[in-house]
Amino acid sequence: MVASPAPGRLAGFLAVVLAGALVASPAARAGEVPPTFALVGSGWGHGVGLSQWGAYGMANEGMDATTIVSHYFSNTEVIATPDDMDIRVGVLIQVPGARVRSEVLEAGGGAIEVTVGGTVVVGGPADVFIFTPGEGSVSVQRSLDGVVTDLGSSTSATVHWAGTRAPGTAAGAATLLNVTGPKARFDTPGHRYRFGYFDMVPVSTSGGPRLNVVNNVRVHDEYLYGISEVSNSWPAAAMQAQVIAARSYALSKVKHGVRKPCACHLDDGDGPYSDQFFTGWAKASSALGNLWVDAVNATHASETTGLAVLYAGVPVRAFYTSSTGGLTQASKDAWGGALPFAVSVDDHWSLIPQNTNSSWTVNVPQARMAAVFGLPDVGVLGITERYISGAVKKIRATASDGTAKELSGTAFLTRLKLKSPYVISVNGEAGVPGTAPGATTPITVSMNIGPTMTPKEGSSLRFRGQVAPATAGIQVDRQMLVDGQWKTVATKTTKANGSYLFKVKKAVPAGAVYSYRVVAFQNGAVVAQSTESVITVLPKKQ
């Protein structure tokens, strides 16, 4: 929790800031509440599984894709696994209707085949096919030069096009299928598909008949070529690690079967299931898209197998996140389901300058924070419990009238729409510190002040302490309570035995009362803080 000044502390004194000297802090006035709360955090996403920026950092250190994914998915093996089956990707889910047309990608392309019931129609780029759901059926119309023709209705309809593995009667060179909702425009970017074929499947909903638009593609290459989760400019090993994770996730979805509400194994990342981002042709055709295709191909073991992450011989749901606060989250902490391959592991590699979310700050106004907790106001806000990853487990707010309410980290994250659950500090207060990235046991830090806790005005003081386990190079900040906020007044790094030393030349003024602590940081994250100690400065002649 955020520490508050003791009653009467520093009454009658103004804050005095002198180089090398202690600084006095007046007590907060009764009923005073902070106007804003500065939340300092790290990471983006849920924090479970493969850290994408962590993979980037590991790749830059020379580690290969297998090493990277094996690190983030504990107790697993990375082996060649059959992946030449089709997977059903929900591109549009429960929409009022859809439209498609073909586009020429190579000379001689552009043919499109639409089948509804026993009717098979072959068209070209000038044709627009319109699909409208009914109760247990889908109706199809063809629009050409302003003339609309009914093609019939059936329990489903399919669309094939030239240049694919299964073009039907649509012969010709490489072609794209442009797929939109009923009111969307064909000339906007995205929504173009190079591979597979489409099913148009009607579904009954509480809002009436709707349509599921499903792209059937081969996992091995066609599906993975369209996964858009990391930049094409990233190191090859980082992209390959992403491919292996994406393949594993897809294979786990195939194993679990088709979801009836969408007639799909997974969606394209736009919901409602929030699976992997599949953008079709947009990924491979984007700038440096050839490098992404190369990364996919580099993970092939044969024409029908690719590298995947397996636990007990079964492809895992290889979750991934953009980055973390230095340690990944265990699935049981993030969602409540314990998975042996999704435990908390070191992710210090993601805390690099290239990652703009390695540190972020959100300033929450007083009124907004009060509304989040359902309190009249919030006088004190503090993190009271963390998971081993450092992610917030519980956070407590106390109103000026003494009423207190506690929220889970998940609820706090959701209500404020924070980037991640890794909130490092609130108004400079770490609350309960977490575990250092890479550490197997929590770090502790001690603080001893001498030669006395009641120094005379003008005398010197020394702050000594040690982190345990003994570690060199850990940043230690000496902090003092100023106007109800902890402020850093000096910084040191620990020696080989974990020790540190701060020297204060003069304790001024006489009669002042000071509250001090030290806070330890590793890889930019708070990992420990000492207990608070109070210094009272006495007059020289006392």
In a domain, 94, yes or no: yes
The reply to whether 129 falls in a domain is yes
Angle, alpha carbons 234-55-218 (nearest 5°): 75
DSSP summary character for residue 289:
H
Confidence of residue 520 (pLDDT cuts 50, 70, 90): confident
Query: What pLDDT is attached to residue 324?
Result: 96
- At residue 226, the pLDDT reads 98
The three-state DSSP-derived secondary structure of 390-442 is CCEEEEEEECCCCCEEEEEHHHHHHHHCCCCCCEEEECCECCCCCCCCCCCCC
pLDDT > 90: percent of the chain: 75
| Residue type at 385 in one-letter notation | E
Instruction: Give the mean model confidence (pLDDT) for residues 43-70.
Output: 97
What lies within 8 Å, CB to CB, of 262 at 6+ separation is: 90, 93, 94, 203, 212, 214, 272, 273
Q: How much is the pLDDT for 303?
A: 97
pLDDT above 70 (res 434): no
pLDDT value for 440: 53
User: What is the number of H-type helices and E-type strands within the chain?
Assistant: 8, 33
Residue 141 falls inside a structural domain: yes
Question: Predicted confidence band at 507 (pLDDT cuts at 50, 70, 90)?
Answer: confident
Does the pLDDT of residue 221 top 90, yes or no? yes
Residue written as token pair 């990277």: 68
pLDDT in tens, 275-331: 999 999 999 999 999 999 999 999 999 999 999 999 999 999 999 999 999 999 999
User: Are 455 and 539 contacting, i.e. CB atoms less than 8 angstroms apart?
Assistant: no
Predicted pLDDT of residue 398: 94
- What average pLDDT does the segment 24-49 reach? 77
> 380 near 405, Cβ under 8 Å?
no
In-domain check, residue 384: no
- Check the CA dihedral 266-270-271-273 and report its sign: positive
Burial environment of residue 126 by CB neighbours within 10 A (0 to 12, 13 to 18, 19 or more): exposed
User: Residue 475's domain is classified under what CATH number?
Assistant: 2.60.40.10
Report whether pLDDT(37) > 90. Answer: yes
pLDDT in tens, 258-269: 999 999 999 999
In the predicted structure, residue 24 carries a pLDDT above the cut 60: no
Query: Residue 351 domain-assigned?
Result: no
Closest CA to 281 of 227, 236, 231: 227
Strands 86-95 and 266-267: parallel
* Confidence bin at 343 (pLDDT 50/70/90): very high
| CA distances in angstroms from 329 to 4, 252, 341, listed in the order given | 31, 21, 11
Could you count the other beta carbons within 10 Å of the beta carbon of residue 333?
Answer: 23
Helix (H) or strand (E) holding 176: strand 175-180
Domain boundary among 293, 310, 325: 293
Residue 334, in any domain of the structure: no
Report the alpha-carbon distance of residue 103 to residue 176 in Å, rounded. Answer: 5
- In this structure, is the dihedral angle defined by the CA atoms of residues 345, 351, 354 and 358, taken in order, positive or negative? positive
* Arithmetic mean of pLDDT, 222-246: 98
Indicate if the pLDDT at residue 227 is higher than 90: yes
Residues 6+ apart with CB under 8 A from 536: 453, 454, 512, 513, 514
Q: What is the pLDDT of residues 164-197, one digit of tens each?
A: 999 999 999 999 999 999 889 999 999 999 999 9
Three-state DSSP state, 342: coil
As for how many domains the chain has, the answer is 2
Task: Grade residue 114 by pLDDT with cuts at 50, 70 and 90.
Answer: very high
Structure tokens at 228: 């858009």
The reply to whether 495 falls in a domain is yes
Within-domain flag for 72:
no
**Domain span holding position 259:** 85-236+244-293
List the Cα angle 341/277/59 in 5-degree steps: 55
